[in-house]
Chain A
Amino acid sequence: MLTINDHAHSRTQAARTGLPSRAGLGLKTGHLREVLGSQPDIGFFEVHAENYMVAGGPFHHFLGLIREQYPLSLHGVGLSIGAESPLDEQHLKRLAELIRRYQPQSFSEHLAWSSHGPVFLNDLLPLAYDTPTLNRVCEHIDHVQNTLQRPMLLENPATYLAFERSTIDEADFIAEVIRRSGCGLLLDVNNVYVSCVNHQRDPQAYLDALPLHTVGEIHLAGFAEDCDSLGDRLLIDDHGAPIDQTVWALYRQVLQRTGPVATLIERDNQVPAFTVLLAEVQQADALLRDAGGRT
């Protein structure tokens, strides 16, 4: 049973990102004119920071117009917080500049690595969960938060492999990073489901181990299905399909524990017509209203 205090607590936490406790949508180039023309009732938009690290042109033009009308979540995909190598200071500067320019309500990044030395691998790669990694990730997040002068949200990963040298459960690892660094959690419910299937974990136990009171944003997306060498289901977080019913159900359970939290509908591949995504936004908004006890 939830108490009123639980709800109040979660609202305080969610409010610290500044995003409204509503459904938002990833901004797609192909939908820009429709969004600006019809000004749909959407809680916020989210963009990938790296796409806007360009000097000028249409990307900045349109993001400026969107920002005049909607709250913004800036989501990084290239900071490589889990990397063994030091953080890229140039990249941090570019992030600081983007944040200064657009004043987003939230900045988030991933518990993953994507660069090794100068080489950028353009993917969110898995980490070995042990004490050296924990220390490194916490140092990197400290550095990011100090440089950007604001707290960030850290997203739980979708992974396909584990490391023999891991000594800490993923959810415990995330909880400890959040406790030490003071960052918030970007809870990707699709990633929870994908990773739990891929690593034979129980989603409920995984969620129980996470500090859900620090959730500042939720991500929902679709996955693809593959098989591993044993023919077992291997789920791929491809952001290329509608949100699965299982993930919707898990989302409803999460909301019962967190109260309403800003929720992003993420779609990066096989992007459908805007109205298709708008329907998913409205579906999430309805669940958020239920969770908040509002009409």
Chain B
Amino acid sequence: MNTQRAFAAALIDTRLPCPEGLCSANGADPASRFAVYRNNGQGSLINALGASYPVVAQLVGDEFFRAMAAIFVQQQPPQSPLMSRYGEAFAGFIAAFEPAGSVPYLADVARLEHLRTLAYHAADALPVQPEEITAALADAQTLTDLRFEFHPSLHLLDSAFAVVAIWGAHQQGSTLEGVDINQRQHALVLRNGLDVEVFALAPNASTFIRNLIDGQPLLAAAENSPEFDLAQTLGLLIARNAITHLNDKELP
């Protein structure tokens, strides 16, 4: 007997009729009571997305957001009881969601918000003290092979839009006045202590950080990046406690 299969299917797909075999003590139509479960389930998942994607919701308005989220929930219900992981595929869904096509940067804002969620819950790691980093940089012997490991919360996002500025404009108020939306931006997301921070990187600095993430030594990572401000980028990484390990030998 597999009643839960039919029950689950009808919860997710609201076009399906109320499952068979249900009843109410007072003789009321079971569909009117099954609707409570549909509303609870759908509502809770839409609310969960709303909590994870607040700027996406602001950009399209609550009504549009809930309608869009309802379709996503039907198409891609959660595959895990860990709701902090739900919505990983939301940005991809938004990118292909035609009614949202008039807001071309919406999917990238969703990507940024998802990275913020990842950063918020990422593993803890202690930063290397700035003096230790300065000493390693000053030591010509170790400098050649010096590699960085970054905090587990550190993520990069390359966008064809001013994704950081758009997101930032919605932290207080919600106006895009003065934001050049089509200005390409590279976002750096990380958790510094307990706070998730978002920065717009200078051009090409993201290539440098990506090279470091890929395991390239500092000097090679810099050489393999188009021109950028090395001192400023290193300064940012050190100041935001992003560097959690120094290696002066190649990793095994």
Contact = CB atoms under 8 A, between A and B. Distances in A.
Interface string B3-22: 11101100110000000011
Contact of A58 (B30, B34, B194): B194
Interface stretch (B72-80, B93-101, B175-183): B72-80
A59 interface: yes
B22 A162 contact: yes
Contact of B27 (A120, A123, A128, A230): A230
Given A58-B194, A120-B77, A228-B24, A160 B33 contact: yes
B160 interface: no
A36 interface: no
B123 A56 contact: yes
A55 B152 contact: yes
Interface string B116-127: 000111111100
B41 to A, nearest CB: 4
A106 interface: no
A123 B4 CA distance: 13
Contacts of B27: 230
Contacts of B77: 119-121
A80 interface: yes
A200 B44 contact: no
A61 B193 CA distance: 10
Interface string B186-214: 00000100100000000000000000000
Interface string A165-176: 100000000000
A123 B79 contact: no
A150 interface: no
A162 B24 contact: yes
A97 B10 CA distance: 34
A122 B78 contact: yes
Nearest to B45: A122
A185 interface: no
Given A53-B82, A58-B194, A88-B81, A163 B21 contact: yes
A54 B79 CA distance: 16
Contact of A228 (B12, B29, B83, B123): B29
A161 B5 contact: no
B40 interface: yes
A55 B104 CA distance: 33
Contacts of B48: 122
A113 B28 contact: no
B26 interface: yes
Interface in A111-146: 113-123, 125, 128, 132
A40 interface: no
A226 B84 contact: no
A128 B36 contact: no
B31 interface: yes
B21 A51 contact: no
B74 to A, nearest CB: 12
Contacts of B171: none
Nearest to B82: A53
Nearest to B41: A123
Contacts of B81: 50, 77-80, 88, 91, 114-115, 120
Contact of B26 (A56, A78, A117, A200): A200
Nearest to A122: B44
A236 interface: yes
Interface in B39-76: 40-41, 44-45, 48
A119 B23 contact: no
Contacts of B123: 55-56
Contacts of B78: 119-122
Contacts of A160: 33-34, 36-37
Contacts of B33: 160-161, 198, 228, 234
B138 interface: no
A226 B79 contact: no
Given A56-B124, A84-B4, A132-B1, A120 B79 contact: yes
Contacts of B25: 162, 198-201
Contacts of A68: none
Given A120-B80, A162-B22, A226-B36, A113 B4 contact: yes
A232 B78 CA distance: 33
B32 interface: yes
A60 interface: yes
Residue in A61, A91, A161, A198 whose Cβ sees the most chain B Cβ within 10 Å? A161
Contacts of A60: 124
Given A88-B81, A122-B41, A160-B34, 15 more contacts: A56-B125, A78-B81, A119-B77, A119-B79, A120-B80, A121-B12, A121-B78, A160-B33, A160-B36, A164-B23, A165-B3, A229-B32, A230-B26, A232-B26, A234-B32
18 contacts: A51-B83, A53-B84, A54-B121, A56-B123, A79-B81, A84-B2, A84-B5, A85-B4, A115-B81, A116-B5, A125-B37, A160-B36, A161-B23, A161-B37, A199-B25, A229-B28, A230-B27, A230-B28
